[in-house]
Amino acid sequence: MNCGSSSRLWRRLYDDGDIPAIQYGSFGFQLHMAFLSGPRLLDWASSPPHLQFNKFVLTGYRPVASGAECMRSLFYLHNELGNIYTHGIPLLGFLLLLPLQIPWLQLSVPWLGLVHYLACVSPQLGSVVYHLFMNHHGGAPVYHKLLTLDMCGICLVNTLGALPIIYCTLLCYPSTRTLALLAYSALSSYVIFCAVSAHSNISRLCSFAWQAAFRFFIFYLRWADLGFGHPSSLRCYLLMDGLALLGGIINISRLPERLHPGKFDYWFNSHQIMHVLVVISILYLHWGVTSDLTWISSHSCPLD
């Protein structure tokens, strides 16, 4: 029996519930005991229709479950486990560590620190809840509510995350700053509506284009020395948006699982890659905003 057929045999045994857990590598598989033995997993064709959104992930689907059973799935291998932990672990880190890195005592405008903190934790929180409970026995209605929650988390990081950037960039133009903050907030309300009502990943990604265009105008003001902020922050913000865009493109392209259907069912599929890139993107947002917040605490606007 060659390596490929052996790997498929072990995967079938796991999906049938005969062995507790399998991890796959590029050169075969490694067998590991899970914390708990899970239920018999389903293949793509047997999974609920509302969960059949990636036809290149062929196995490892959880059966419909109660809330408690969904929670229990934190401790056995299935094809959403990587999605849960790639945002769950960063969520815990952000909740505990980010407040220690925000210069609260130096903030002349306290709400800037608060909205930044909420922006950083909201996408991970929505994502973890969505992926953990997406197979709830409430079916498609519950799933779509969870998807809306996930989209709201993404919208919040795009909305709240940009407010400190806009504030710092237009620090010395109070009237323009207020108008820009209101305009971006109003635009974001429309974007949230478009994102939660979108019917495909492509249309959801496109929903955020208006916010991105607004942010890039703000970035242009900094690049052209028409705006203000810490000298290193602009690079952080460009990397932030670049990584987020790259993650979105990888997710909608379904790479790499499109090239080898079934090989990336449990690990290293497009959605997990997107999760990692989003976390790194948020770190760049955090580094840029904290630099800006520290900078404005000691900056004086020029007199007219």
CATH assignment at residue 89: 1.20.1070
Task: Assign 10 a pLDDT band (cuts: 50, 70, 90).
Answer: very low
Instruction: Answer yes or no: is pLDDT of 20 > 80.
Output: no
Q: Using one digit for the tens of pLDDT, what is the confidence trace for 127-139?
A: 999 999 999 999 9
The pLDDT assigned to 112 comes to: 96
275 is in an annotated binding site: yes
What is the rounded distance in angstroms from the CA atom of residue 281 to the CA atom of residue 239? 7
Least confident piece of the model among 1-5, 28-32, 211-215, 276-280: 28-32
Instruction: Answer yes or no: is pLDDT of 231 > 70.
Output: yes
Which residues contact residue 88 at a Cβ distance below 8 angstroms, ignoring those fewer than 6 apart? 124, 128
The pLDDT assigned to 46 comes to: 96
- Tally Cβ neighbours within 10 Å of residue 19: 16
131 is in an annotated binding site: yes
Which letter does DSSP use for residue 53 in this model?
A: -
10 inside domain:
no
pTM for the structure as a whole: 0.86
45 inside domain:
no
36 inside domain:
no
Q: Using one digit for the tens of pLDDT, what is the confidence trace for 31-85?
A: 343 456 789 999 999 999 999 999 999 999 999 999 999 999 999 999 999 999 9
Q: Using one digit for the tens of pLDDT, what is the confidence trace for 62-76?
A: 999 999 999 999 999
Q: What is the mean pLDDT of the chain?
A: 89
- Tally Cβ neighbours within 10 Å of residue 17: 12
The pLDDT assigned to 36 comes to: 64
26 inside domain:
no
How far CA 134 is from CA of 34, 44, 52, 192, 256, in Å, comes to 21, 15, 12, 21, 23
Q: Region 229-244: what's the mean pLDDT? A: 96
The pLDDT assigned to 165 comes to: 98
192 inside domain:
yes
Task: Assign 23 a pLDDT band (cuts: 50, 70, 90).
Answer: very low
Task: Assign 27 a pLDDT band (cuts: 50, 70, 90).
Answer: very low
Q: Region 291-297: what's the mean pLDDT? A: 93
174 upstream amide cis, omega within 30 of 0: no
Q: Using one digit for the tens of pLDDT, what is the confidence trace for 183-200?
A: 999 999 998 888 888 878
pLDDT higher for 75 or 204?
75
128 inside domain:
yes
136 is in an annotated binding site: no
118 inside domain:
yes
Q: Region 9-25: what's the mean pLDDT? A: 47
19 inside domain:
no
Task: Assign 201 a pLDDT band (cuts: 50, 70, 90).
Answer: confident
Range(s) of the domain holding residue 106: 67-296
pLDDT higher for 160 or 1?
160
Domain count, the chain: 1
| Residue in the structure block whose two tokens are 């909205």 | 115
